[in-house]
Amino acid sequence: MGNPRTISLRTTSFLPTKSNKRIKAIAHEIKGLVKGIIDKRVEQMKKGEIIKQHGHNKGLSIDDVIEECKLFYFAGQETTANLLVWTMILLGQHKNWQDRARGEVLKVFGDRKPDIDGLNQLKVINMIFLEVLRLYPPVAGMPRMIHKDTKIGNITLPAGTFIVLHTMLSHHDPDIWGEDVKEFNPERFSQGVSKATKGQTSFIPFGGGPRVCIGQNFAMLEAKMTLVMILRRFSFELSPSYTHAPYLIITVQPQFGAHLVLHKI
Ligand code: HEM
């Protein structure tokens, strides 16, 4: 996605270079690992340990299932980890929001173990995550190929055009978000997403339409659970050694890491 290295990799991907050999070896290893998990499940199904949910077995081949597993793992792990890392950085910078989030956790759960009902009540933490996803959307842009001539406003896109829907640009547009667009201000989501975006489809961290992220609710729940556990145990701030450098390497990551100082509570 807009990364020249990705393009050069594609055009030279058949050459037996050192890195291509490594890419191939890693792909082979991952395929073997996922296949191992699938084989185990197939074995269990044969033994009748897993009840088949769908009567017939048409549709996906084993290779398709391997690809789906890889997509789920990659799409789910990397992105949610990114959301949490940027949340830690921003809450390390904005102690007032960290305190508000911790206050909410204590109010909702007290000493109780986090449960699904409680997680769904976390309004402040939800606002914080939305604001983090606005400022640092893990998926910065979505590539699309236009299949038939398409007119959008006064632009005509011929079939075969490659476009990128730029999440980052849309999330940083002052015409949509206002003068404080560059600031971390979770309050803007206090009345929900549609109020914050004035009803426009300009907040798209999980994409939209038929290809919208299938794991979005799971991701938010998982991230909430993790943050609750961190906030209960630690207070944290940014280390002076932290260098702010958002960097696009498939997802948006802090290039030099997230240097944080944690204090046990
Ligand atoms: C903060 C976390 C996440 C973010 C920001 C995110 C973002 C996205 C975005 C933007 C898309 C649409 C891509 C496109 O239209 O080209 C997408 C698709 C997808 N996501 Fe997520 N995702 C997250 C978590 C997850 C999790 C936890 C899972 C699975 C457990 C997951 C599984 C998928 C899958 C399978 C698709 C493809 C759906 C399809 O094409 O039909 N994602 N995600």
Please indicate, yes or no, whether residues 123 and 173 belong to a single structural domain of this protein.
yes
16 has pLDDT over 80: yes
Q: What is the total count of domains within the chain?
A: 2
Same domain, 11 and 107: no
Q: In angstroms, what is the span from residue 128 Cα to ligand 1's centroid?
A: 20
For residues 185 and 131, what is the distance between their CA atoms, to the nearest angstrom? 7
What's the pLDDT tens digit per position in 141-193?
Answer: 999 999 999 998 999 999 999 999 999 999 999 999 999 999 999 999 999 99
Ligand 1, pocket-test mutation among 64, 213, 224, most atoms within 8 A of CB: 213
- Which residue's CA is the nearest one to ligand 1's atom 40? 211
Q: Which residues pair with 162 in a beta bridge?
A: 145
Domain presence at residue 68: no
Residue 3's pLDDT is: 42
**69 annotated active-site:** no
List, for residues 48-100, the tens digit of each pLDDT value. Answer: 655 455 555 567 888 888 888 888 888 899 999 999 999 999 999 999 999 99
Cβ atoms of 252 and 138 within 8 Å: the answer is: yes
pLDDT at 58: 62
Cβ of 219 less than 6 Å from ligand 1: yes
For ligand 1, is residue 84 a contact (CB within 6 Å)?
Answer: no
What pLDDT score does 1 carry?
A: 37
Is the C-beta atom of 79 inside 6 A of ligand 1?
yes
Q: Which spans in the chain are helix H?
A: 4-11, 18-46, 62-93, 95-109, 116-119, 123-135, 167-171, 174-177, 193-196, 216-233
220 close to ligand 1 (CB < 6 Angstrom): no
pLDDT tens digits, one per residue of 93-136: 999 999 999 999 999 999 899 999 999 999 999 999 999 999 99
pLDDT at residue number 5: 41
- Looking at the structure, do residues 47 and 85 belong to the same domain, yes or no? no
Task: For a ligand 1 pocket test, name from 67, 79, 84, 129 the mutation site with the most ligand atoms within 8 angstroms of its C-beta.
Answer: 79
pLDDT tens track for 206-258 = 999 999 999 999 999 999 999 999 999 999 999 999 999 999 988 999 999 99
Whether residues 22 and 85 fall in one domain? no
64 domain residue, yes or no: no
Domain assignment present for residue 73? The answer is no
Contact 146, 155 (CB under 8 A): no
87 noted as active-site residue: no
Q: What tens digit of pLDDT does each residue of 184-219 get?
A: 999 999 999 999 998 889 999 999 999 999 999 999
Domain-embedded: residue 214: yes
Q: Is residue 133 domain-shared with residue 34, that is, in the same domain? A: no
Question: Based on the domain organization, do 192 and 151 belong to the same domain?
Answer: yes
69 is known to lie in a ligand binding site: no
Domain contains 67: no
Contact indicator for 103, 123 with CB cutoff of 8 Å: no
Q: Which residues contact 5 (CB under 8 A, 6 or more apart)?
A: none
Assigned domain for 5 exists:
yes
| Same structural domain, 53 and 87 | no
| Whether 96 and 215 share a structural domain | yes
What is the rounded CA–CA span in Å between residue 154 and residue 208?
23
74 located within any domain: no
Annotated catalytic residue within 69, 109, 213, 236: 213
Residue 110 CB neighbours (<10 A): 8
CA distance 206 to 171: 12
Q: Tell me, yes or no, whether 7 and 136 share the same domain.
A: no
Domain CATH for 102? 1.10.630.10
Residues 151, 27 share a domain? no
Over residues 22-55, the pLDDT tens digits come to: 999 999 999 999 899 888 888 887 876 554 555 5
- Across-strand partners of 142? 165
Whether residue 66 lies inside any domain: the answer is: no
Q: Which domain holds residue 5?
A: 1-58
Q: For residues 2 and 44, state if they share a domain.
A: yes
Based on the fold, state whether residues 136 and 15 are members of the same structural domain: no
